[in-house]
Amino acid sequence: MNEMIRKKAKIREKTYLAPDIYRYSFLTDLCSGAEPGQFVMIYPVNGARLLGRPLCIADVSGEDNDSGRADDPGHYFDIVFRVVGGGTEEISGYNPGDELYIEGPLGHGYPFDEKTIGGKNIVMLGGGLGAPSLLFLAKKLMKAPSAFVSLTAVLGYRDRSMNHFLASDFGGTGIKTIISTDDGSEGIRGNVIDALEESGIKADLIYACGPLPMLSAVKRYAKEAGATAYISLEERMACGLGVCLGCVAKTTEKDAHSGVKNARVCTEGPVFCAETVDI
Amino acid sequence: MRLYQEKSAGDIEPDLGVDLAGIHFRNPVTVASGTFGSGIEYSRFVDLNKLGALTTKGVSRDPWEGNPTPRVTETPSGMMNAIGLQNPGVDVFIKRDLAFLEEFDVPVIVNVCGHSVGEYEAVVERLAEDDRVAMLEINVSCPNVSCGAIQFGTDAGMLMEVTSRCKSKAGSKPVIMKLTPNVTSISDMAKAAEAGGADGVSLINTLTAMKIDIYKKRFVLANKTGGLSGPAIHPVAVRMVYEASHAIKIPVIGMGGVASAEDALELMLAGATMVAVGMMNFTEPDITGKIIRGIKDYMVLTKTEHIRDIIGAV
């Protein structure tokens, strides 16, 4: 048998970030080899809810990252989620010590090899709950800061009630971090692209995660600016493993697996080069 | 419940083997079409060689795009889907999926879909002589494609015709007709399949359903309707398997919300010779193994030597 990628994991830490938004840390080595942009399926316990909830990996710590906690064997990973329905509401009710079934790491994340990032001005655009997957990427990129020219994170929020969650984590990595809010109650008024333009930051390479209209705008912006954009798509999933074909994205060319212009968000994605998807 | 317990010394060694349409299966558990792909993805969770049979996702003559998204949504103890039978077509299926399955010792049931009788026939013909295929299952019951599929499965006359025409192209391969529960009388449909020369029937496919987002005032699925599956529909499946198996002499493969050995046994007691696990593969990828072990435990517990003694024994 091949390796199992499904485990029961204990919640190590639970942090309230903003109304309805939580950060959980799970005590497990399940995601120790995960790449930024990959996700996990977290299964509700209530038997009336049978499908996993796909949530991106926000951070991973391994043996090289000693938290200094006596109760901490060193392997854990974080997710950040918002309560949007019954399943996430149930998950938000669990506490440190509680265990949940988790599958992962799944899918293909952001490419960040030397060829992709070398000599580039990199901008990360995170809209709302898009910030978490970019945080993990930011940490990976900052391990080799000499590989690229510049790195900026632009994080967009609805308003100040979202407590610009995770912004201090981005700042903590040493990355220049810009905040925008739709209503201007904090940071630059407008969306992440407005903030990027207003700040006059050059982008050769864009990593983006957020709502679909934002990602469509990022695709257009990147094309006009002559930049390459990698975007992380969200779609309703059933299996998370590439079986059910529930979560497809329209592609511009025929996809090798499906034989039609559909790629599986859970398997070929969730991160796609913006040019290759029809959004 | 006393299943899934350690064995003790005096226990019998039950025989789980079943015969269906002249083929011997090592146990009665297969997977429902569309919930297991061709086993490629799940082979890291499940030992495919331990399945009674592997039923593939529907295969059509040409590649099918399927429906727009959202295609899936959760419902209480179940889910709705409107995938629309997206598949790469029979050429890719033969080259990639059958080549993969060749490496395993498991009978393969290929599910066949089409927009017209001619399209069904074309796929059946391509697979009729392929040794890697044990049996064909004709999908005349998908609620999510606009032309073909379910139209053939809701009219007794058309069902009989599709059955006999597929059968005539299938050579020595047994042909199973997969029936929809979205009919007034499942018995009449089972009889039509039997009259058309089917070697068996499988049921139930999903129940046509609808879900509305009350805040957006929109349908949740892009296709408006979708097929309901999962444990929520299991009691419907038990009733229909019972009715169908009493109306016909050919064997029945039972499916619909099987989540445990108990559920599988219920369908067998109702009259199914084999059972298929569907949506629950998504929830617990290794559930088929657990169900096979549970059936064995039940037989030990009830001192049942042959599984055939369970079939239709209610």
Task: Identify the H or E element spanning A140.
Answer: helix A131-141
> Residue A4: its pLDDT value, please?
54
**A125 and A228 in one domain?**
yes
**How many structural domains are present in chain A?**
2
Predicted pLDDT of residue B147: 62
Would you say residue A150 lies in a domain?
A: yes
**Residue of chain B nearest A106, judged by CA positions:** B41
pLDDT > 90 fraction of chain A, expressed in percent and rounded: 89
Give the pair of three-digit tokens for residue B233. 């529909």
Residues of B belonging to the active site: 142
The CATH number given to whatever domain includes residue A53 is: 2.40.30.10
CB pairs < 8 Å spanning A and B: 109
State which of A80, A106, A132 marks the end of a domain. A106
Cα dihedral value B184, B186, B187, B192, nearest 10: 100
Task: Say how many domains are in chain B.
Answer: 1
Best probe of the A interface among B33, B62, B71, by most A CBs < 10 A, is: B71
Q: Indicate whether B169 belongs to any domain.
A: yes
A228: phi then psi, degrees, rounded to nearest 5: -95, 135
On the question of pLDDT at A61 being above 90, the answer is no
Is the pLDDT confidence value at B144 over 80?
no
CATH number, domain with residue B156: 3.20.20.70
Whether residue B110 lies inside any domain: the answer is yes
Interchain pair B79, A87: CB under 8 A: no
Whether B294 is in a domain gets the answer no
Contacts of A5 in chain B (CB under 8 A): 44
Evaluate if residue A69 carries a pLDDT over 80.
Answer: no
What tens digit of pLDDT does each residue of A138-177 get?
A: 999 998 888 999 999 999 999 999 999 999 999 999 999 9
**Residue A205: inside a domain, yes or no?**
yes
Question: Testing the interface with B: which of A4, A49, A84, A245 to mutate, by most B Cβ within 10 A?
Answer: A245
The three-point CA angle B155-B35-B246 to 5° equals 45
Whether A128 and A204 share a structural domain: yes
A119 and A223 both lie in a single domain: yes
Q: Is the residue at A249 inside a domain?
A: no
Q: Do B281 and A239 touch (CB under 8 A)?
A: yes
Same domain membership, residue A135 and residue A185: yes
- Using 50, 70 and 90 to split pLDDT, how confident is the model at A5? confident
Tokens of residue A53, six digits:
């909830």
Of A50, A248, A279, which to mutate for an interface test with B (greatest number of B Cβ within 10 Å)?
A50
Phi, psi angles (nearest 5°) of residue A113: -70, 170
Q: Is residue B195 part of a domain?
A: yes
Residue B292 maps to a domain: no
Q: How large is the average pLDDT for residues A209-233?
A: 97
* Structural domain includes residue B59: yes
Q: What pLDDT score was predicted for residue B74? A: 97
Rounded Cα–Cα distance for residues A45 and A150 (Å):
44
What the block records as the tokens of A212 is 């679909």
pLDDT digits (tens, 9 = 90+) for A174-201: 999 999 999 999 999 999 999 999 999 9
Using 50, 70 and 90 to split pLDDT, how confident is the model at B98? Answer: very high
- Whether the predicted pLDDT of B26 surpasses 80: yes
Are B313 and B269 spatial neighbours (Cβ–Cβ below 8 Å)? yes
**Residue B3 belongs to a domain:** no
- Same domain? For A34 and A98 the reply is yes
In a domain, A252, yes or no: no
Q: Does B54 fall in a domain?
A: yes
Q: Which residues of A touch B64 (CB under 8 A)?
A: 260
Q: What is the pLDDT of residue A2?
A: 33
- Statement: residue A260 has pLDDT above 60: yes
Predicted pLDDT at B148: 62
Range of the domain at A212: 114-232
Range of the domain at B217: 29-286
Question: Among A52, A75, A106, where does a domain finish?
Answer: A106
Q: Does A7 touch chain B (CB under 8 A)?
A: no
Q: Tell me the nearest-neighbour CA distance from A190 into chain B, angstroms.
A: 24
The closest of B252, B222, B223, B217 to B238, measured between CA atoms, is B252
pLDDT in tens, B125-141: 999 999 999 999 999 98
Residue in chain B nearest A248 by alpha carbon: B69
